[in-house]
Structure 1
Amino acid sequence: MSAWRLCFIPGLVLVTILAISALVSTAGKVESDIGARVDQQLALDGQPWASAGISGRTVTVMGTSPTLLAQRLAVESAERVWGVARVVDGSGIIPLQAPYTWSATREPDRLRISGFVPSEEAKIAVLATASRELPTLAIEDDLVLARGQPVGFLVLTDFALRRVAELAGGSVTLTGNNLSIDGTAADDARFASAARAIAGGAPGGGQFRNVRVLPPLSRSFTWTVTYDGKSVEQTGFVPSVAVRRDISDALAVALPGVPMIDLTQLASGGPDGFSYAAVFAAYQMARLSAGTVTIDGSKLSIEGKAKTVADYEMALAEIEARRSKRAIGVGIGSVDLLPARVDPYVWRADRTPEALVLTGYVPSLQAHDDVMGAATRLFPDVAITDHVRIADGDPKMDWIGALKYALEQLSLLEKGSVALTGRKYDIVGEAISTSAYSNLLEALKKTLPASMELRRQAVSPGAVSPFVFAAARTPEVLTLSGYVPTDEVVQKIIAAARPKFGPDRIELRLLLAGGAPDGFVDAVDTALQAISRLQGGRFDLVDSKLSLSGVAVSEGARNAIEATVRADLPDGFELAPSLMVAVGGEPLSGSECQAALRTESEREKVDFDGATARILPSSYGLLDRIAAIIQRCPVATVEIGAHTDSSGGTRKNQALSVERANAVVNHLVADGVRRERLNPVGYGGSRPIASNSKASGRAQNRRIEFGIVGQ
């Protein structure tokens, strides 16, 4: 090979290498230049989410687009850059979210933001606002990129975060363009700021859904109204403007024309039922010439001086009525009311099994100690609350002796009260036992000591369980035994039994006791009616369970008795019947049969409901016994003769007597007597047995007679 060729080949290789290096260097600069210019264009066109990937003059748009439109605009921006030969869309798009939600929750030491944001830039903006509005809190970011946000999203989140900054605790929630706010304001200034902002409406096309911003929380929620006779001042806390207005309205009614100073502040933390208790207390000011009412936590306390004795008594009555209702939230605390003039002089003791509360007046400290000593001795295991005050005006009587006597009687009550208003003595409650009840009644029947005068006695016997009452019928005797709640109930039961059992003697073996079920008297009346129709009838009432036994004249009578008892028993009572049907006795001759019928008719009479043919239920037992006698006269025909008095006219009385005779026949047939053996006859007033000029005579003439007319 020639020498020049040997020199040329290495040089050619060197030139080629240098050329390639130059081309590579130039291409890299071109790609960097294009990439920089594309990124710059994307930023200028408002697509900062996108970036350019360069391969020669081919540009690949990369990143996650917030919208389909932004994705297309980013490609168009890259295509407009000089030197770009081709643009490839390599971007993605964030998911669509519906519903689109966002929330911020304030806790004591942190702010938790969760939900969705449309872009990284929006997320940065939201977090920046949160840091600006709540710089002292740690921020927890649980935000996720998603599209579907409402118009004005950042305006709404900015507004929401400013509201969160006004809360001591709470949350804001955005669902679509609906904004909800729930929490407690940090202080009065921020409560007012939140109220003004909310009153202006939601910005950015949003709207409020649920808004509840409570006043700032008060750890010691107290409220006081003080009236000095000239002006009234209200201080402390109230839970809302509406409650403040209600209290002011009540004070204006209670103290018309009196200047009012309102220094209350809005706050959360008040007890349940505050507004009702405060309005109640405000109305009580009408009864005071001066005084103070205070709600401290869950207790309402009242102290002051009543305008008149009537105001004093009414205020105490209303306070006690509220106390007895056990109002939810705010109960009655201390009550320290002084009457304008203590006349009449009053004192009261209320007891429960666990507590004794004394209120009223005594004339001296020594008298106070004497009464407290008696209370401690009589109630050794009971918590005693002393609200007794020393005051002048005690009546001309042994006041302390009267109080000690009242306490002794109170010790016989399980719960109740004793009270003195001057000489007038009231005792109300439930006795601790049956013997205690009897002792109390005996003592109250006597002349009371210390010039006391009994005004009201409402003592009930102690409750027993089970509450048992029984009635048993033997020939000519009805025995009542068990428990009854009062003497008045005993009289009602006797009054109910008397027409059902005619001349039968009623023997009482009863004890007074509490615990009678509701409907007790009606249940006893129903059961008495049943055994009035039963031979050897008996019932036992144990609480609300009624057991019934005895012998009915017939199957029909037994069914009727059971059906009537089930229908007439009060609700809640249960019947357990054990009734049998009578087996006929030895047959009677005609004369024996007539004698037996006459004996029953002379012992009792069939009674009707006024001037009608409806037989009163109290006569069912008599007719059942008549039916039993007729059943023992198997071949006799019995005339049922109905008679009236002279009232009402001859034709009317004749018709009524026929109806009554037929009514008796119908009852006897229902008791099992064959109808063909009965002959109903109406005599009207044609056969009087006494003068119709007197009521007693007319009563004798109104009768049903039973006679044997054939064998």
Structure 2
Amino acid sequence: MTSLGALQMAVAEIPAGLTLDRSSIEPMWVAPYIWTARFDGTRIELSGYAPDEPSIARFRTADLSGTPLATGLSLASGAPENYADLSLSLLEQLALLEEGEASIIDGVGRLSGRPATVEIAQAVTNRLSGNGSIVTLAPPPVADYWVSVSRQASGILVFDGFVPDEATRASLSEIDGADVNFLKLGSGAPASYRSGLDFALSLLTHISEGRVNLSGERLSITGIAKSPTDYGTLQQLVTAELPQGIQVGTMDFVPPRAARYEFTATRQEDGVITLTGMLPNPDVEQQLLTAAGSKASSQVAYASGAPNNFASASRQALDLLALLDEGTVQFDGTGWTVKGIPGSSIDRGAIETEFAVNGLAQAGWSWQLAEPAATPAAVSPYVFSAERLPDGSFLFTGNVPAQSLRDYLAVHVESRVTDTTKLSAGAPEQFAGQVRSAVDALLELEEGKAVFNGQQWTVSGVAENAERRAASLALVTQTLPLGASPAISAPQPEAPKPPVAQAEQPPVPTETPAAPTTTPALLAQCKEEVAALSARNAILFQSGAAIIASSAVPELDALAQAVAICPETSVYVEGHTDSDGDEQKNLALSVARAEAVVGALIERGVAADRLYAVGYGESQPVTANDTADGKRQNRRIVVTVQDKNS
């Protein structure tokens, strides 16, 4: 273009005497017409052609965000019609990048480079989309790299977030039902990006509606499984088959909803429990299996649609099932039913108490209970006999209403026992207390026999002396309905010898008789009987309260009689609970229950200054609290006696 400049200078220097009528000088025509701008991050350099000097001047006043501009343009004709606007727009967008290049070749604009952010890349692309320019930008760096896929009810997969390159976006677009319009290019994807995304897509095949999200290396999933089988497959995949480098995030997927939610727990005669029907998830299943015992099994399917508080209700149902020898607890979609054979009358009473205290009937629960299998048949007449043999051993025959009475007698007599009694229903009122009184009367004798014919008692025997005879008679006449006068004999005392004159002796000072003491033998007997009664754990309470169940009355009577053997001892009543519920509330409940037992013993004549109530709450379990039976053992009253002088 030097010739153009020289020509322009010559025209400007016309010799004197000549007049320039008209001048029109055009730059040389070039093709292809090229304009280029290169940005290295510090300054922009222009090269190629411009149609005139005003065009070059416009580049110097363009909005380049303070970026220095170097121009090396040559004037040339042949510029495309859109040159002025297109070149200025490309130059200003180039200045927004970290580095890059812009060009115009025969009217076609191009821009390539590296943007600093996704927002800048989007802005540059939008600005140039209207003039037909070809924009090729490197993916911008993304600090929070994520991608999500949502499966809609229609089956459409909506992708959002970032992909590292156009090839990845293209491959995702080929998936059936894929919508990739919201995906953006971005650099900085973690190494596990593709394996995590492929794994997320595999999870979606088991979901009818939901979303997977891969944020960095953390994978989350929400949604509804297509079927119970798909739900189980999802559980297996996310717990055992995560790709290397992928971490578990939120796992909030649920099984499909059941039209009718049903669940059953069945206890066989051997005590083994089987779970069938539906449960919300494996966590609830495992909790129930733990509560049901080590031999329990499950055949449940997972389903949504369980009513509110279903998990706690099902655990309560298992606690009731533990009170059955065999039976079921069942939820039919509307309410719970407890059906079967209680282990004993005490267990039946415990079920009835649970219903009353917790308002289960009002909450839609019901029971269908058969008579306990161990309930003895009623007999009439209700006969019984106790005999003390000359060697001090005892023989019991006839009928007794409960095993607890057998156990009491075996401990109480402190001698060898032969017991051929039968457990039978139909005992008259006060029968157990009368049996204890009759045996106590025999303990005052060297040998003897007490017989109950169903209505009245007859007692006979031989006492060591008159005092022991009187003690036995007092027990018999004051506590037993007698059919005849007791035939209890004792050796007659020897006649006193005539007095012999003695020399007068100085008076012997009298000593105050010592207060009665509990002998070591009586103390040992007392401790043994109390320990045996305490070990039966038969003092029961209403659930969650310090109200003693009516079934515990015989136990309290026996306990009062046992501690009466050792009146100079202290009696400690300990309350213990299982681990269900709040620890502090359990501690308060254990104290209240121990105090309730102390009050019952005072009502039965035990001196209040002997009694001490102590509560330990859940702090001293005798076994694990992970089964219903274990919890029953831990809910207990423990009574001990201690010599006040020890």
Q: Which has the higher contact order (CA 8 A, sep 6+)?
A: 2
Check whether TM > 0.5. no
Instruction: Give the TM interval when normalised to the shorter protein.
Output: 0.3 to 0.5
Greater per-residue helix proportion: 1
TM-score of the pair, normalised by structure 1? 0.37
TM-score of the pair, normalised by structure 2? 0.40
